[in-house]
Structure 1
């Protein structure tokens, strides 16, 4: 099974990217899968507005039960929240909030993924998936590397321990939010050796066969190469 890192964005037909995750969960379940959808909002009531959207989108792609786990400032993810899930989907929103609420169950998530449960991270859920998580920030050493709106309430680019599912630092909404500068600057500054940036409506699929890009956009990679940074573009193949 694979780890699906989704760069954000909404579309009428997400079969080529989110659908790949649901199909893997279906294969594991042998039928319509149970998907645990983990969402975070500052207050519990704030997250409820998105519940029907997630249920409807995943049901269109073949999910059976869509179990919403709504986290908030006073509610952290617990291992029992993921019991019986054929797939784990961690949604989008404020990345520092997701990181604080999801990391208490990191060992459980890693164990489930190791046992064959596919993981999908949408925006924030992708950013916290790596060994090192990108929480946000728009400046490095006081120098702007992306727009302030991408900072997620943080000034300096901030990295922390992530879920440990992939050995990549992940950025999202890259073409749409102008975050490629942050991707390159993180590698250039030595904060990480390899960084990937994923466009909206696009997934980077990390599986037994290596890396695959699916969807409508690109995945951008920045790799430290001595005193330079090598940048490459991985185009979607499906």
Structure 2
């Protein structure tokens, strides 16, 4: 089963592939003759997370017969680990990354165990950013220098990393080309805050086969920007190497 990390929020019309693949894996996980149970974690800064649920639940229910288990994080809510009992898939939505991380922190060991046991995970935007063990949750400054626009900061000044779910082996940033956060990922690696980061464009996702997978697949119309530290001779201590990766062409 797979870990799907998406570079934006849900858009089943322009980027249906990620819903198609995740739903198929959740159905397979449930097994023949059983209806999949899918936990959907959503936060709403206005305190009404239930209003956000249809964005995620609707596309899933259009694809497979499934029971959606709402995990609502409005008004500083914290997810109860028991909410994930017996689920065949986990979806974590987009929005304020610090709020999502705070909301799932108590359930983090449970989620990591589920994914380790083969339950597929689908993270949109914030849900992708909280997936790594060392999760970038916001900020726009490195050593007092801007590395992205303040509008992308999530209310934080310096780049901030916290303990995430531990289901991805590198830091993740999202809205890369569209919001200019690729430079934040590059700045984080160049400054030595992390050795490896992946910045994902909107309309794009990366798929890992396991939490410790050495590589990933790219799907969608955009680019996955793979940023790695390079401390080689002559490059100095602040070198970052960026590789642009796109989806492989479909073969007839």
Q: In the alignment, what sits opposite 1:16?
A: 17
Bigger Cα displacement from structure 2, 15-24 vs 83-92: 15-24
Q: CA deviation at 1:166?
A: 1.2
Q: In the alignment, what sits opposite 1:2?
A: 2
Aligned CA distance change for structure 1 residues 136 and 63 (closer, same or farther; 3 Å): farther
Whether 1:69 and 2:71 are equivalent positions in the alignment is yes
Q: Secondary structure at the match of 1:160?
A: strand
Of the two, which has the highest radius of gyration?
A: 2
Whether 1:235 and 2:246 are equivalent positions in the alignment is yes
Q: In the alignment, what sits opposite 1:190?
A: 192
Q: In the alignment, what sits opposite 2:30?
A: 29
Q: In the alignment, what sits opposite 2:229?
A: 224
Whole-angstrom CA distance in 2 between matches of 1:27 and 1:127: 26
The answer (yes or no) to whether the contact 1:34–1:63 under 8 Å persists in 2 is no
The 5-angstrom pairing of residues 64-103 of structure 1 reads 64-103=66-105
- Runs of 4+ with deviation above 6 angstroms: none
Query: Where do 5+ consecutive residues of structure 1 fail to align?
Result: none
Bigger Cα displacement from structure 2, 87-96 vs 11-20: 11-20
The answer (yes or no) to whether the contact 1:5–1:121 under 8 Å persists in 2 is yes
Whole-angstrom CA distance in 2 between matches of 1:119 and 1:201: 18
The answer (yes or no) to whether the contact 2:130–2:136 under 8 Å persists in 1 is yes
Whole-angstrom CA distance in 1 between matches of 2:152 and 2:65: 31
Aligned CA distance change for structure 1 residues 13 and 63 (closer, same or farther; 3 Å): farther
The answer (yes or no) to whether the contact 2:12–2:19 under 8 Å persists in 1 is no
Q: CA deviation at 1:115?
A: 1.2
Q: In the alignment, what sits opposite 1:178?
A: 180
Q: Secondary structure at the match of 2:135?
A: strand
TM-score under structure 1 length normalisation = 0.94
Q: In the alignment, what sits opposite 1:131?
A: 133
Query: Where do 5+ consecutive residues of structure 2 fail to align?
Result: none
**Which of 152, 163, 166 does residue 164 from structure 1 map onto?**
166
Q: CA deviation at 1:63?
A: 5.2
Output one character per residue of 1:165-209: Cα deviation in whole Å (capped at 9) or x when no partner: 111000001111111110110100000000000111211101057
Whether 1:104 and 2:109 are equivalent positions in the alignment is no
